[in-house]
Amino acid sequence: MPVWSEQGRRYWKRLSGRDSLLRWFGWLLLVLLLVWSWHLISERTIWVFVLDAPAQGADLIERMFPPRWDYMPQLWRPLWDTLNIATLGTMIAVLLGTPLAFLAARNTTPSVTLVRPVALLIIVGSRSINSLIWALLLVLIFGPGVLAGVIAIALRSIGFIGKLVYEAIEESDRRPVEAITATGASAAQLRLYAIVPQVLPAWVGTSVYRWDINIREATVLGLVGAGGIGVELMASVNTLAWGQVSLIFGLILLTVLFSEWVSARVRAATI
């Protein structure tokens, strides 16, 4: 902390001269980057449309209300599909992600040098691609429909579940493991009796949490053709049927609130 005297009084500053200069340049760099970014965005924007935005927004809201209630009967089936995409996708991900977590955790993997890096690579690859991008790819392969949605959700969730569960496994208490090892248990028995009971609550919590996220994501997968209520949303947006859009928004909101409530209840019960 630099302290100096001036006219018989002592002053202090938090940073030394060099540090404050460095910070100043850091902020300058950030501001320059920001200006450059804004310039790039502004160049690609048609400002006439933007100036018109308040009127457009007001118009949009006016057309959204009242929602077209008679459209509702057509939405039950896509809503059911959405729930299925999220639930079946999560189930597949739990089935595949749990063994993956055991392969990735340092204390349960069969081989730290060979198996663990492969398992971690699968986890990272799955996690860094959004389910919407997975869906884009899978719709191309399997054709539009619910199947592409289920697999897209599963592929994205394997990494999520794998990561959180393998971290739970690595954090588990060593003492039960040593105790069960001392009884002469086999490797499988060791995992079943020493590790599984410790990570079971985290496993349930993670799975339900992911299901909650997946419900949200499943509502929009239809935008790229992967089934569910998003298909109806895209069709309504494309035909400018804003009364239907607002109805779908309301339905999505209710579904999301419901899944959040379920997940909060289950997690409160298990932890």
Partner 1 sequence: MNTGAVPGRARRQWRRPPLIADRRLRWALYLSLVLYLVVGIGSLEVNWQRVVDGLDRGAAFAGALLRPDFSSRGPEILEGLLESLSMTLTATVIGLLLAVPVAIGAARNLAPLPVYVLCRGIIAVSRSFQEIIIAILFVAMLGFGPLAGVATLAFASIGFIAKLLAEDIEAMDPKPIDAIRASGAPPGLLLNWAVQPQVLPRLAGITLYRLDINFREAAIIGIVGAGGIGATLNTAFDRYEYGTAAAILLLIIILVMSAEYASGILRERLR
Residues near partner 1 (CB under 8 A): 33-34, 36-38, 40-42, 44-46, 49-50, 53, 56-57, 60, 80-81, 84, 87-88, 91, 124-125, 128-130, 132-133, 136-137, 140-143, 145-147, 150, 193, 197, 200, 204, 216-217, 219-220, 223-224, 233, 237, 249, 252-253, 256-257, 270
As a whole number of angstroms, the distance between CA 186 and CA 21 comes to: 62
- Write down the least CB distance from residue 4 to partner 1, Å: 23
- Taking phi over 0 as left and psi of -120 to 50 as alpha, with beta for the rest, 87 belongs to alpha
- Write down the least CB distance from residue 105 to partner 1, Å: 19
Q: Which is nearer to partner 1, 2 or 125 (CB)?
A: 125
Q: Which is nearer to partner 1, 115 or 237 (CB)?
A: 237
Q: Which is nearer to partner 1, 128 or 181 (CB)?
A: 128
- Write down the least CB distance from residue 51 to partner 1, Å: 10
- Write down the least CB distance from residue 118 to partner 1, Å: 16
As a whole number of angstroms, the distance between CA 227 and CA 220 comes to: 9
- Write down the least CB distance from residue 8 to partner 1, Å: 26
As a whole number of angstroms, the distance between CA 251 and CA 145 comes to: 20
Q: Which is nearer to partner 1, 110 or 140 (CB)?
A: 140
- Write down the least CB distance from residue 89 to partner 1, Å: 11
- Write down the least CB distance from residue 5 to partner 1, Å: 26
CA 101 to chain centre: 18
Q: Which is nearer to partner 1, 63 or 110 (CB)?
A: 63
Peptide bond into 66 cis (omega under 30): yes
**What Cα–Cα distance (Å) separates residue 32 from each residue in 23, 45, 163, 185, 267?**
14, 20, 37, 63, 45
Residue whose token pair is 């060593």: 174
As a whole number of angstroms, the distance between CA 157 and CA 215 comes to: 12
As a whole number of angstroms, the distance between CA 31 and CA 267 comes to: 43
Q: Which is nearer to partner 1, 74 or 111 (CB)?
A: 74
As a whole number of angstroms, the distance between CA 128 and CA 36 comes to: 27
Residue whose token pair is 């035909």: 239
Q: Which is nearer to partner 1, 114 or 141 (CB)?
A: 141
CA 126 to chain centre: 11
